[in-house]
Amino acid sequence: MFLCAVVLSACQNSAQKIEPVTKASVQPAARPLQVMRSPDGIQNVRWELTQIQGEKAKFFHSQPYLLFNMQLKQIQGNTGCNALSGRYEMNVERQTLNIEARAGYFSCDAALAQEAVLMDTLGQAASFQVKGNQLILRNSKGQILLQAKKS
């Protein structure tokens, strides 16, 4: 009986002070993310891939795209199956580019061939050209590797 009384007394709530919510106690919401603006027409723009090595870019689990994040100097995107990310160096005036990127590890059967070609292509990119809403990446010999459009 004594044990039962001890257990029951341990389960009772202790007095807690509850304060009412007032305007002064409410914290403002976090600031929304700033919209990235592109000062040069290539960075901070989402580029949907249209062609990779002359072949039409295919949608598998998501739209293949690239984004050159100017603030972080990181490339982000998707291969059609996996997310990709890495670093890049860009000289906008000379239109030169160097990309080091990796893709994720999901196996998407038919998408793996496109992913392999895309990752190889990004490693070969040496220059770029923007024509209106179109981005063209070229290798060191000037051959077109990849084409994309602003989304």
Which pLDDT tens digit goes with each residue over 78-132? Answer: 999 999 999 999 999 999 999 999 998 777 777 889 999 999 999 999 999 999 9
How much is the pLDDT for 9?
47
User: Are the CB atoms for 79 and 111 separated by under 8 Å?
Assistant: yes
pLDDT tens for each residue of 66-89? 999 999 999 999 999 999 999 999
What distance, in Å, lies between the first and last C-alpha atoms of the chain?
74
User: Are the CB atoms for 151 and 46 separated by under 8 Å?
Assistant: yes
* Domains of the chain by start residue, with CATH: 46-150 (2.40.128.270)
**Per-residue burial over 91-116, b = 16 or more CB atoms within 10 Å of its CB, e = otherwise:** eeeeeebebebebeeeebeebbebbe
pTM recorded for the entire structure: 0.73
